[in-house]
Chains A and B, each alone.
Chain A
C-alpha cells in the first residue's frame, strides 16, 4: 500500500472552480470521466447527485400520498397503488436518498478532513457507488414490469419493512417483493463495501500528528457509522436472502403453516432496522458538530464526551431493536428490557444535545444559513428524541405504535433532523466543493419556507396519532376527527416541496454565478479549509501535519494555539 506521506507534488496549476456539468471539454468526455472516475470528490458528487434525484422521486410519492389522504374517501390512488407508493416512498428515501447522501458527504469530506489524498480503495469506492445506484435503478424498474404500465407496474407494496407473511408467494404473487429484495441486496453490497473502505481510510490514512482523538467529529461519527454498517447491514441481506429462497425455491423460513415464524422476520429486520436509523443520523450529528462550533466561534464543548457518547450510542443501538415490536405479544420481561434499553440510549443522545448547547453558550453566534438549519435541527431533534422516549415507554407505545404518531416521530428525526443537517452541511461545504457560495437570500427563504412546511406537515400528525389514526391506510371515513389535521399536513407537504425547489434553484444558480468563496469563507478550523476551493485532484499540495484538533485555529492564532490546552 502506498505511503500517504511520501508524495510531494509540485505546486501545479489549480483547477478553476468548475461546477459539475460545466467543465470544459465535450459532453461525452465529461460523462466518461464521471462514469470511470475513482476520485473520492467526484464520487461524492455522484452519490449526492443521485441522492437528490431519489429525493425528488421520493418526494413526489410523498405528495401523492398526502394528496390522497388530505380528504376522506378520496379516489386519487386505490388501495393497491397507495400501498405501492408508501412502500416506494419509504424504501427510496431511506436507502437511496439518505444512505447515498451520507456516503456522498462522507466520501467528499472525510479524506479532506484527515488530510489524505483519497480513499483507501478508490476503485472499490467507485464500485460501491455503482452497486448502490444500480440497486436503486432496479427497484424503480419495478414500475415498468409486472402488470404493465397502465397500473403502477409491480412496485413493491408490503411497506418498507416488508412484513412476513404478507411477502410470501401466497399473499404477494407478483414480482413486486422480488424487486424490493433484490434491489436492496445489490445496494446493500455497495453500502457494505463502502463501509469497509471508509473505515480503512480513517484508520490508515490520517495525516501526520492526527491521532484518533484529534480527528474532527464528523470523521469520528462517520467511523462509528461505518462500524454499524458493516455489522448490521448483513442481517438485512441475510433476511432478504431467506425471503428470496422462500419465494423462489420454496424454502420455509417464515411460513406459519410449516411451523415457521413471521416474528422471526421482524426480529431479523429490526436487528438491521434500528441500527440503520443510527447509521443515518450519526453523520447528521457529525455535520452539526462541525457547523455549530464554527458559527459559535468556540470549540466543541466536551470533545471526549462527544466521542464517548457516540460510541455508546453505537453499542446500545444494537440492543433496542424490539421496541419496534412492542405490540407483537412478547413476554413482559423482553418488553421491559427493550423499553429500558431505549430509555438508556436517550442518555448519550441527550448529552450530545447538551454539548451542542454548551458550545453555543458563551459564544458569538453568527446566524448564517448553515447555523439557521443547525438551530432548527436542535429544536426539532430535541422534540424527536422526546417523542422517542414516549414511544419507548412500552405501555404508551401500545397506544401509539403503528399510528400517525410514529410517522410524526420518525419524520421529525429523518426530515427535521437529518435533512436539516444535510441542508446545513450543504450551505457549509458547498463553497469548498464548488468554489462558490450559495446565495444567502435564497437560502434564508429556503430555510423559512421549508421549516414552516415541515412543522405544518408533521406537527398535526402527532395529534392524528392521539386520535387513533393508524398508518398505511389509503383512505378513512368522515367523522373520525382526522379531516382537518390531514388537510393541514398536506398543505405543509406542498410547502416543503416549494422549499426544496428553492434549494435546488439555489444550488444550480450559485454553481454558475455564486460569489467566489476562496479557501476558507467561514473562518473555520479543520483541514478541509486549508486547501483550495474546489480542492485540486490530489487534495493537498503538501500533506499537513497537525498538533491539535483545530489545526487552522493554531495557524491563525499562534499566540493561543489549541495544543497548549489539550
Chain B
C-alpha cells in the first residue's frame, strides 16, 4: 500500500513544468496566499538562478521532491479539515445577540469517544510518515555509487570553496564542473565535504538537499543532474561577515564538454611572455604565500583559491562579481571594496603593480 501511495505522488522524472504546476497549486491552496510572483524560467536558459526546490533536476533532489509532495499533501488535507472545522465553529456558534445571554450553552466536559476518535488517525498518519521518511533517508544516504561516478572533494573556507578532483588531480575553486547524467549513461557525482575552519553548508536546491561542512568531520553527498546549465547555490551556515557572498556555481556539462574542461584544467598555465612582469609582481608581493599557481615557484599557498586557471572562471570572489577586467582591477587593488570582511587584505599595491598583476591573471585560462 505504501508503494502505491508513494508512486501516486511520483511524477515523470523530466516534467519540471508539470511539477511546478502541481507544487504551486498544492502550496497555494495550503496557505491561500498567492503572493508568488510569476516565476519566470531564467531568461538565459543556461543560468539557473531560480533554484526552486519543486523543480528538481537531479535524481536525489527528485526523491526529496516526491516525499515533500506527500508530506505537503497530508498537511494540506489536515489544514483544510481542521481549519474548516474551526471556521464552521466560529460562524455557527458565535454569540448572536442579547438573546444569547439568557443562558449558558450545555456545559460539556469532554468525551472519551471523541478523544479517541481524534487521536487514532494522527497516530496512523505518523506511522505512515515515519515509514516513508525512513525509506527516503535510506534511499539517499545509502545510495550505491557506480564505479563510473565522478568524485569531488569540496573544502569550505571562509568565504570560498576549494574544489578538488582526486581522480584527475585537478584543483580549482568556487566553480564546480560536473558531468551530466542520463538514463542510458548514469554518472552521478559523489561529493566529499570538509571544512578548513568553521562550519559551512552546501546547498544547490535543484541538485540535492544541503549538507554541512564541519571541521574534523567528513560528510558525503551525491548529485546526479540531468539538465545542463549553471546552477546557483549558497553557503547555508553562518560563517562570518561574508557568509552571504560565499556563493556556489555548479556547472553541469555534457560528458564531452566536461572532458574537455578537465583536460584544459590539467594543462599547465599559459606562459605569456608579455605578462612576465605581472608574474614577478605576483610573487614579489607575496600573493603566492596564499595562492597557488601550478608550475610557478613561490606560488604555493593553500590559504586562498587556486589561481592556475583563474581566467577560465566566470566570477571572482566566489561569485561576488563577474570576472572581467574592471572587477578584477578593483579586487586586486582592494578586495574589501567588493567583499568587505573577506580574508584577503588590501595589499597596498600601486597602480602599475595592479595593472601588471591583472594582465597576468587574465592569461591564466
Interface set of A (CB-CB < 8 Å, partner B): 78-80, 83, 157-159, 163-166, 170-171, 256-257, 259-263, 296-299, 301-305, 327-329, 332, 335-336, 339-340, 343-344, 346-347, 350-351, 353-354, 357-358, 360-367, 375, 378-379, 382-383, 386-387, 389-390, 393-403, 455, 459-460, 462-463, 466-477, 479-481, 484-485, 488, 557, 560, 562, 565-566
A365 to B242, CA, bound (A): 52
Determine whether the beta carbon of A332 is less than 8 Å from that of B72. no
- Residues facing A in B135-168 (CB within 8 A) are 136-138, 140-142, 158
| Residue among B201, B205, B208 facing the most chain A CB atoms (10 A cut-off) | B205
Task: Judge whether A455 and B90 touch: CB under 8 Å.
Answer: no
What chain B residues lie within 8 Å of A78 (beta carbons)? 241, 340-341
**Bound complex: CA of A426 vs CA of B173, how far in Å?**
56
Take A83-B238, A395-B63, A470-B234 as given contacts and tell me if A261 and B217 are in contact as well, using a CB distance cutoff of 8 Å.
yes
Residues of A within 8 Å of B212, CB to CB, are 327-329
Which residues of B, 188-245, contact A by the 8 Å Cβ criterion?
193, 197-199, 201, 203, 205, 208-212, 214-217, 219-220, 232-245
For this complex, 8 residue pairs linking A to B, each with C-beta atoms less than 8 Å apart, are A78-B340, A302-B111, A347-B123, A361-B93, A364-B95, A394-B137, A469-B234, A565-B109
State which of A80, A165, A171, A336 has its C-beta within 8 Å of the C-beta of B133: A336
Please report the C-alpha to C-alpha distance between residue A479 and residue B42 in the assembled complex, in whole angstroms. Answer: 8
Q: Which of A260, A335, A365, A403 contacts B90 (CB 8 A)?
A: A365
CB-CB under 8 A from A397, the residues of chain B are: 209
Return A375 CB to nearest CB of chain B, in Å: 6
Q: Is the CB of A83 within 8 A of B241?
A: yes
> Do B199 and A163 touch across chains, with their CB atoms under 8 A apart?
yes
B79 at the A interface (CB under 8 A): yes
A389 to B75 CA separation, bound complex (whole angstroms): 8
Question: Are B27's CB and A463's CB within 8 A?
Answer: yes
Within the complex, which residue of A344, A382, A393 is in contact with B71, where a contact is CB–CB below 8 Å?
A393
B205 touching A297 by the CB < 8 A rule?
no
Please pick, from A396, A460, A488, the residue contacting B67 in the complex, using a CB distance under 8 A: A396
Which of B52, B107, B136, B341 counts the most chain A CB atoms within 10 A?
B107
Q: Contact check, B340 vs A79: say whether CB atoms are below 8 A apart.
A: yes
The docked-state distance in angstroms from the alpha carbon of A459 to that of B111 is 36
List the A side residues contacting B352 at CB < 8 Å.
none
Q: Which of B49, B122, B130, B210 contacts A399 (CB 8 A)?
A: B210
Residues from 97 to 116 in B contacting A, C-beta threshold 8 Å: 100, 104-111, 114-115
Is A379 within 8 A of B100, CB to CB? no
Q: Report Cα–Cα, A83/B237, bound state, in Å.
A: 12
Interfacial chain A residues near B71, Cβ < 8 Å = 389-390, 393, 396
Question: Given the complex of chains A and B, what is the CA–CA distance between A357 and B212 in angstroms?
Answer: 41
- Tell whether B349 is near chain A: CB-to-CB under 8 Å: no
Q: Which of B81-89, B262-270, B274-282, B294-302 contacts A (4 or more CB under 8 A)?
A: B81-89
Beta-carbon contact of B110 and A363 below 8 Å: no
Q: Which of B61, B86, B126, B215 contacts A344 (CB 8 A)?
A: B126
Q: Could you say which of B7-15, B30-38, B325-333 contacts chain A?
A: B30-38
| A466→B27 contact, CB < 8 A | yes
A488: chain B residues within 8 A (beta carbon)? 35
Give the CA-CA distance A286 to B94 in the complex, in Å. 23
Query: B107 and A402: CB pair below 8 A?
Result: no
A301 touches B52 (CB 8 A): no
A329 & B100 in contact (Cβ 8 Å cutoff):
no
Task: From known contacts A332-B138, A382-B83, infer whether A473 and B244 are also in contact, taking CB-CB under 8 Å.
Answer: yes
Distance to closest chain B CB from A85 (angstroms): 12
Q: Is the CB of B86 within 8 A of A166?
A: no
- Judge whether B119 is part of the interface by a CB distance below 8 angstroms: yes
- State the interface size on chain B (CB cutoff 8 A): 99
Q: Select the residue from A350, A375, A488 with max chain B CB neighbours within 10 A.
A: A350
Q: Are A350 and B83 in contact (CB under 8 A)?
A: no
Q: Which residues of B contact A382 (CB under 8 A)?
A: 79, 82-83, 86
Query: For B86, B216, B238, which residue has the most chain A Cβ atoms within 10 angstroms?
Result: B238
Decide: A395 near B140, CB < 8 A? Known: A305-B115, A351-B118, A386-B78.
yes
Asked whether A475 and B36 contact (CB < 8 A) given A329-B214, A395-B140, the answer is no
Q: Once the chains bind, are A468 and B198 in contact (CB under 8 Å)?
A: no
Q: A296-B93, A305-B115, A395-B133 are in contact. Are A166 and B239 (CB under 8 A)?
A: yes
How far apart sit A329 and B108, CA to CA, in the bound complex (Å)?
50
In the assembled complex, which residues on chain A have CB atoms less than 8 Å from the CB atom of B2?
none
Tell me the bound Cα distance from A332 to B52 in angstroms: 26
Quick check: A560 and B215 within 8 Å, CB to CB? no
| A262: chain B residues within 8 A (beta carbon) | 198-199, 214-217
Chain B contacts for A303, CB-based, 8 A? 109-110
Is the beta-carbon distance between B64 and A399 smaller than 8 angstroms?
yes
The answer to whether B83 and A379 touch across the interface, beta carbons within 8 angstroms, is: yes
Given A261-B216, A261-B217, A468:B53 Cβ within 8 A: yes
CA distance A375 to B214 in the complex (A): 43
Q: How far is the CA of A466 from the CA of B132 in the complex (A)?
A: 21
B236 and A403 form a contact (CB under 8 A): yes
A301 touches B109 (CB 8 A): yes
Contacts A163-B198, A488-B35, A566-B109 hold; do A364 and B104 have CB atoms under 8 A apart?
Answer: yes
Does the CB pair A302–B95 fall under 8 Å? no
- Is B210 a contact partner of A327 (Cβ separation < 8 A)? yes
| 4 A-B pairs with the lowest CB-CB distances in the bound complex, closest first | A398-B209, A79-B241, A473-B244, A468-B51
Contact A390 B68 (CB under 8 A): yes
CA distance A74 to B39 in the complex (A): 23
Q: Check if B1 is an interface residue, CB within 8 A of chain A.
A: no
List residues of chain A with CB within 8 A of the CB of B214. Answer: 262-263, 328-329
B284, CB-defined interface residue at 8 Å: no
Asked if A299 and B95 make an inter-chain contact with CB atoms under 8 angstroms apart, the answer reads no
Q: How far is the CA of A455 from the CA of B109 in the complex (A)?
A: 34
* Bound CA span A151–B89, Å: 54
- Indicate whether B50 reaches chain A with its CB closer than 8 angstroms: yes
Interface flag for B54 (CB, 8 Å): yes
Give Cα distance in the complex from A480 to B247, angstroms. 12
On whether the beta carbons of B201 and A171 are closer than 8 Å, the reply is no
A560, B122: Cβ atoms under 8 Å? no
B198 touches which of A165, A476, A562 (Cβ 8 Å): A165
Chain B neighbourhood of A358, CB < 8 A: 108, 110-111, 114
Asked whether B133 lies within 8 Å of A394 as measured between CB atoms, the reply is yes
CA distance A275 to B10 in the complex (A): 36
The reply to whether A467 and B50 form a contact with Cβ atoms under 8 Å apart is yes
B344 surroundings in chain A (CB, below 8 A)? none
Q: Other CB < 8 Å A-B pairs besides A165-B215, A259-B216, 18 of them?
A: A83-B243, A157-B241, A165-B198, A260-B216, A339-B134, A344-B126, A361-B89, A363-B105, A389-B71, A390-B72, A395-B63, A396-B68, A401-B236, A402-B210, A462-B31, A470-B235, A471-B236, A484-B37
Q: Which residue of chain B is the closest to A386 with respect to CB atoms? A: B75
- Once the chains bind, are B130 and A481 in contact (CB under 8 Å)? no
In the assembled complex, which residues on chain A have CB atoms less than 8 Å from the CB atom of B198? 163, 165-166, 171, 262
Kindly list chain B residues whose C-beta atoms are within 8 Å of the C-beta of A460: 33, 35
Chain B residue, CB-CB nearest to A157: B241
CA distance A163 to B212 in the complex (A): 12
Contact flag A560-B238 (CB < 8 Å), given A79-B340, A344-B126, A394-B137? no
Which residues of A have CB within 8 Å of B107? Answer: 298-299, 560, 562, 565
- The answer to whether B137 and A335 touch across the interface, beta carbons within 8 angstroms, is yes
Chain A residues with CB under 8 Å of B290's CB are: none
Chain A hits for B142, CB < 8 A: 332
The answer to whether B95 and A383 touch across the interface, beta carbons within 8 angstroms, is: no
Residues of A within 8 A of B39 (CB): 467, 481
Contact: B110 with A473, CB < 8 Å?
no
In the complex, chain B residues whose CB is within 8 Å of the CB of A484: 35, 37
Instruction: Determine the chain A residues whose CB is within 8 A of the CB of B27 once the complex forms.
Output: 462-463, 466
The closest CB in chain A to the CB of B210 belongs to A327
Residues of A within 8 A of B75 (CB): 386-387, 389-390
B311 CB–A CB distance under 8 Å:
no
Known contacts A79-B241, A396-B67: does B51 contact A467 (CB below 8 Å)? yes
Given A383-B31, A399-B209, A466-B27, decide whether A393 and B129 contact each other with a Cβ distance below 8 A. yes
